[in-house]
Amino acid sequence: MSLYYIYQDHNRCIGCFACEVHCKTNKGLGPGPRLCRIIPTEIKAINEQVVQRFIFMPCFHCEDPWCVKACPTGAMQKRAKDGIVFVEPNLCVGCKNCITACPWGIPQFNPETGKVVKCDYCKDRIDQGLLPACVSKCTTHALKWVSTQEASTIKREKFVKEAYANLY
Amino acid sequence: MKKQVFSVCGMCSARCPIRVEVTDGRITWIEGNPYAAGIEGSMCARGSAGLVHVYDFERPQGPMVRIGERGSGEWKRVSWDEALNYIANRLSEIIGKYGPKSVALLDRGGGLFGEMQRVFIKAIGSPNYFNHDDLCRKDADLALQSLIGIPRNQISYDFANARHIVSFGRAFFDAVVVKEANNVLKALEKGAKLTYFDPRVNVTATKATRYLRIRPGTDYAVVLALIHQILKEDLYDRDFVNKYMLGITDLEEFIKPYTPKWAEAESGVPEYQIIKLARELSEAKPRVIIYPYWFGARYTDSFYYARAVWILNFLLGNLEQKGGLILAKSPKEVGAQPLKSLLDPIPAPQDKRIEAELGKGFLYDGAGHILHLYKAIKTEEPYPIKALFVYRYDPFAGMPLEDIKEITRKLELLVHIPVDYGTTSWFADVILPESTYLERDDIIGLQRGAKPAFILRRKAIDPVYDTKPRWWIFTQLCKKLGLEKYVPYESIEDIWNYQLEGTGIKIEDFEAKGFVSLCKEQVLYSRDQLKFKTPSGKIEIVSSKMQEREVPIFYPYKTPEKPKVEEGEFRLIFGRAAMHTHVRTQNNPLLNEIKPENELWINDEVAERLGIKDGDWVEVSSGDYTGKIKAKVTPFIHPEAVFMVRGYQNDIPWLSRVYGKGLNEGRLLKGAFDKFALGSHTGVLFENFVKVKKA
């Protein structure tokens, strides 16, 4: 797993799909490959509320990535310094083996180049001290760029706040 | 080489401040202006897709003159000089024959940078300036004017500090304004309640602390019942009401029959929920906001609904209160000098606008009613309108083909000045393509608010195609008509310098952030010293303005007509989704990818009786128009309504990505443009029934 994590605050996410467009404009991608996705869940009615979630699906940047193992040319790589999984386009031959290997369907085929393209957490921006495009411009600041440790803390604190809010 | 430009987004009408990066002459990054409060870098999907829009080849790439029949799609590319000469010649003939008043300009809306197009129509001596507001916010505007003498855009909402927000179909998270969405979320995070009424579940409903399904057409009933309960239980802000509101006794008399129990029978919203809401609002007052419609061109009673909503707000004493409604300040009100108006040096037209000859019985406020314009074109009464300029607006996109034919048949000249192709350009005589917001400078705009500011839209790059900025188009049109004395400008800098004269602000002052605030802190008036722009200086429930215009003060509620659902008849309602702006973005490559077509929402129980399953193709008919669309069968819509995300112009071949996809709700609005809302003469676009059957 990479050092980083994109935490999605479901209370703030409005499923507007802006993250997908922020990502694609930053990478110069046309219609076709979608490096991160928002997948809506079904609407459910619970008492006075109706609820729906919009699940943000970037690459998870696995500790032991299937896609890297599946790549026959060494194009799919894991960056040593921070664990970001990325494609080196010069080495990619467009065999799509990584697409087959990834359990979450993360690597995308770009018909314009005949190569695979995937979420690399905008590593060029990270290296400049900036945030990934999706986080940086998220309409409602629902996406947060945190360490894996911080993600865990946010989640625990949120759980306590919500679960215990009405106890006293 | 890399540079940054601060500007203003143009992908919708929210006009968010933006920061644009240009690398070697190409736009590489657009984000929300990091210095703008409530934005802080964030941007919606449409904002980012602006980067693709500017380089899209599916937009007009130079001036065009129609050579075939209307709607034949046969055009000739011409130079700007040819196009402008052509218009000037035709216009001179028309003015010679029918006078300057026969020329009308239809604008989407003035907005921040809206003076330029008004300069043109005023300079030629025509009073006939119109905007789209009648098919949008005008009910809320006129209702507020009737009560406190100012239009809606002079009120801002302090959502972030509100304790309870109530909305009837204003979809904060579906028709997204970035700052507003963030402020509503901020309130929710701080524990505020959001009560949301809608016949259909949208994203906003899923974020609400309470969603109440309402029968379409009965919003007015629920607001009346809330007022009833608040007066009955003495839940209002007595001090505020005694000090500022005139006509409470008349209101008490009128409101008597409208009990929550009665409203339940009308709307389907349970009596106990209405009573509970009234009490909760009283507890949270004055930090409450009951939002009137934004898009208010819905029902025959929408103007009276909007009046009731404003009255409800004021009963709760939320005006000029933290977490409530804030009076937007002008430069003068915060001790600054206003911009100089480009309109001032031009004499007022001698003729009267068409409305002025129509008698009384409706309100109007200086912008002209679009439905009156259409009627005048069709009937030539009270006088003929023969030339129409349409700017930054695609009115035909949301209109039945029959209306378009009837209107264009009477026009001798139709000029469309768009950024994008659409139905209006398809039926126009001349297309003058405007540069996108990323390729053009605009005049300086005023952002009113508790902390007003001047803001600048600056071009990030030179136009990609042979397009021009609006200031250039309208000044050149004036010059071609021999009216150069009213537009003594050679460059945008000339205009900026004129506007800034006497303000002490220089154009360089916009460099750092893209805007210049006119005061340091938000200005709030003292609660004890409010004065309103009405003849009495008070909040007038019994409105002088309405009395003067012979408009009834109160409108007794009437039950809306019920569609014959068992025969497959439904009330057609429509709305927005976060990735699309009205009729403008469905063809954008990246936004089209996210939502390439719309579908027809239909209630699951009703659908079952009609033999319609989720994903089936259905036929939707208004009588003179029938189209096919996929059904979305769901329990989350009222059985009397069918719903579509609006704006899919699927019949204009120029828009190849959306051509033949989904269905355009506008084509189904048979007769809608001949129906007028009571008191306001605005549009009533949700008063239409359609027939649905399995295709």
Q: DSSP letter at B570?
A: E
CA angle B26, B27, B29 (to 5 degrees): 145
Flag whether B552 is in a domain: no
**Any chain B CB within 8 A of the CB of A41?**
no
B209–A49 CB contact, under 8 Å: yes
Flag whether B73 is in a domain: yes
- Model pLDDT for residues B98-121, shown as the tens digit of each residue: 999 999 999 998 778 999 999 999
Closest C-alpha among B116, B134, B244 to residue B541: B244
- For residue B126, the model assigns a pLDDT of 97
Q: How many CB pairs under 8 A join A and B?
A: 111
Mutate to test the interface with B, among A34, A51, A139 (most CBs of B within 10 A): A139
In chain B, the number of structural domains is 3
Q: Is B594 exposed, middle or buried (0-12, 13-18, 19+ CB in 10 A)?
A: buried
- The shortest C-alpha distance from A101 to chain B (Å) reads 25
Flag whether B624 is in a domain: yes
Q: Which band of pLDDT confidence, cut at 50, 70 and 90, is reported for residue A1?
A: low
Q: DSSP letter at B354?
A: G
Flag whether B4 is in a domain: no
Task: Tell me: pLDDT of B658 over 90.
Answer: yes
In terms of CA atoms, which chain A residue is nearest residue B576? A16
- The shortest C-alpha distance from A51 to chain B (Å) reads 5
Same domain, yes or no: B119 and B167? no
Least confident of A19-23, B217-221, B324-328, B358-362: B358-362
How many Å apart are CA A168 and CA B8, to the nearest integer? Answer: 48
Residues of chain B positioned with their CB less than 8 A from the CB of A16: 44-45, 173, 176, 203, 578-579
How many Å apart are CA B496 and CA B344, to the nearest integer? Answer: 15
Tell how strand B103-107 and strand B387-391 pair up.
parallel
Same domain, yes or no: B181 and B250? yes
Q: What are phi and psi of B539, to 5 degrees?
A: -80, 115
Q: DSSP letter at B592?
A: H
How many Å apart are CA B490 and CA B485, to the nearest integer? Answer: 12
Question: What is the average per-residue pLDDT within A44-52?
Answer: 93
- Could you tell me where the beta strands, DSSP code E, fall in B382-487? 387-391, 413-417, 430-431, 445-447, 453-455
Cβ contact B679:B555 at 8 Å: yes
Q: What are phi and psi of B467, to 5 degrees?
A: -115, 165
**Any chain B CB within 8 A of the CB of A1?**
no
Residues of chain B positioned with their CB less than 8 A from the CB of A12: 185, 189
Cβ contact B580:B53 at 8 Å: no
In terms of CA atoms, which chain B residue is nearest residue A16? B578
- For residue A168, the model assigns a pLDDT of 62
Report which residue type is found at A127.
D
- The shortest C-alpha distance from B47 to chain A (Å) reads 8
- The shortest C-alpha distance from B211 to chain A (Å) reads 6
- Model pLDDT for residues B215-229, shown as the tens digit of each residue: 999 999 999 999 999
Residue where a domain stops, chosen among B479, B512, B545: B512
Strand partners, B21: B4, B29
Same domain, yes or no: B222 and B354? no
Same domain, yes or no: B199 and B281? yes
- Model pLDDT for residues B605-655, shown as the tens digit of each residue: 999 999 999 999 999 999 999 999 999 999 999 999 999 999 999 999 999
Q: Cis peptide before A111, with omega less than 30 degrees from 0?
A: no
**Any chain B CB within 8 A of the CB of A154?**
no
B49–A21 CB contact, under 8 Å: yes
Cβ contact B686:B677 at 8 Å: no
- Model pLDDT for residues B446-464, shown as the tens digit of each residue: 998 889 999 999 999 999 9
Flag whether B336 is in a domain: no
CB within 8 Å of B282: residues ≥ 6 apart: B230, B233, B235, B236, B316
Q: DSSP letter at B352?
A: P
Instruction: List the 68-127 stretch of A: residues with Cβ below 8 A of B.
Output: none
Question: What is the average per-residue pLDDT within B81-97?
Answer: 98
Question: In angstroms, how far is the first alpha carbon of chain B from the final one?
Answer: 57
Q: Helix B470-480 to helix B115-123 angle, to the nearest 10 degrees?
A: 10
Same domain, yes or no: B381 and B246? no
Q: Which residue has the tokens 């800034």?
A: B500
**Token pair of B374 as six digits:** 């259409």
Domains and CATH numbers, chain A: 2-162 (3.30.70.20)
**Any chain A CB within 8 A of the CB of B401?**
no
Same domain, yes or no: B250 and B360? no
B578–A26 CB contact, under 8 Å: no
Report which residue type is found at B204.
T
Percent of chain B with pLDDT over 70: 100
Give the H/E segment covering residue B29: strand B26-32
B42–A20 CB contact, under 8 Å: no
Query: Closest to A136 (Cβ–Cβ): which among B31, B173, B206?
Result: B31
**Token pair of B188 as six digits:** 């929710």
Tell how strand B210-213 and strand B453-455 pair up.
unpaired
Distances in whole angstroms, Cα of residue A82 to Cα of each of A4, A121, A123: 8, 11, 10
B44–A139 CB contact, under 8 Å: yes
Q: Which domain holds residue B125?
A: 62-133+342-436+464-512
B594–A18 CB contact, under 8 Å: no
Instruction: List the 592-631 stretch of B: residues with Cβ below 8 A of A.
Output: 592-594
A16–B44 CB contact, under 8 Å: yes
How many Å apart are CA B197 and CA B268, to the nearest integer? Answer: 11
How many Å apart are CA A36 and CA A68, to the nearest integer? Answer: 19
Same domain, yes or no: B363 and B215? no
* Mean pLDDT taken over chain B: 96
Percent of chain B with pLDDT over 90: 96
Query: Closest to B590 (Cβ–Cβ): which among A31, A43, A49?
Result: A31
Same domain, yes or no: B184 and B101? no
Flag whether B86 is in a domain: yes
- Model pLDDT for residues A76-100, shown as the tens digit of each residue: 999 999 999 999 999 999 999 999 9
- The shortest C-alpha distance from A39 to chain B (Å) reads 11
Q: Which band of pLDDT confidence, cut at 50, 70 and 90, is reported for residue B91?
A: very high
Same domain, yes or no: B364 and B504? yes
How many Å apart are CA B240 and CA B206, to the nearest integer? Answer: 34
Tell how strand B75-77 and strand B64-66 pair up.
antiparallel
How many Å apart are CA B594 and CA B534, to the nearest integer? Answer: 48
Q: DSSP letter at B451?
A: S
Residue where a domain stops, chosen among B512, B534, B552: B512
Closest C-alpha among B90, B69, B93, B67 to residue B78: B67
ipTM of the complex: 0.96
Closest C-alpha among B496, B497, B474 to residue B487: B474
- For residue B368, the model assigns a pLDDT of 87
How many Å apart are CA A108 and CA B255, to the nearest integer? Answer: 61
Same domain, yes or no: B117 and B162? no
Flag whether B523 is in a domain: no
- Give the three-class secondary structure for B168: strand
What CATH number does the domain containing B618 carry? 2.40.40.20
Same domain, yes or no: B122 and B94? yes
Cβ contact A85:A78 at 8 Å: yes
CB within 8 Å of B96: residues ≥ 6 apart: none
- Per-residue H/E/C for chain A: CCCEEEEECCCCCCCCCHHHHHHHHHHCCCCCCCCCEEEECCCEEECCEEECCEEEECCCCCCCCHHHHHCCCCCEEECCCCCCEEECCCCCCCCCHHHHHCCCCCCEEECCCCEEECCCCCHHHHHCCCCCHHHHHCCCCCEEEEEHHHHHHHHHHHHHHHHHCCCC
Least confident of B3-12, B317-326, B523-532: B523-532
How many Å apart are CA B455 and CA B517, to the nearest integer? Answer: 9
Flag whether B585 is in a domain: yes
Same domain, yes or no: B493 and B347? yes
- The shortest C-alpha distance from A149 to chain B (Å) reads 23
Cβ contact A40:A118 at 8 Å: no
In terms of CA atoms, which chain B residue is nearest residue A38? B594
- Could you tell me where the beta strands, DSSP code E, fall in B349-412? 387-391
Q: What is the pTM of this model?
A: 0.97
Residue where a domain stops, chosen among B260, B288, B322: B322
Query: Closest to B43 (Cβ–Cβ): which among A14, A48, A139?
Result: A139
- Could you tell me where the beta strands, DSSP code E, fall in B405-506? 413-417, 430-431, 445-447, 453-455
What CATH number does the domain containing B214 carry? 3.40.228.10
**Any chain A CB within 8 A of the CB of B55?**
no
Residues of chain A positioned with their CB less than 8 A from the CB of B206: 43, 49-52
What CATH number does the domain containing B505 carry? 3.40.50.740
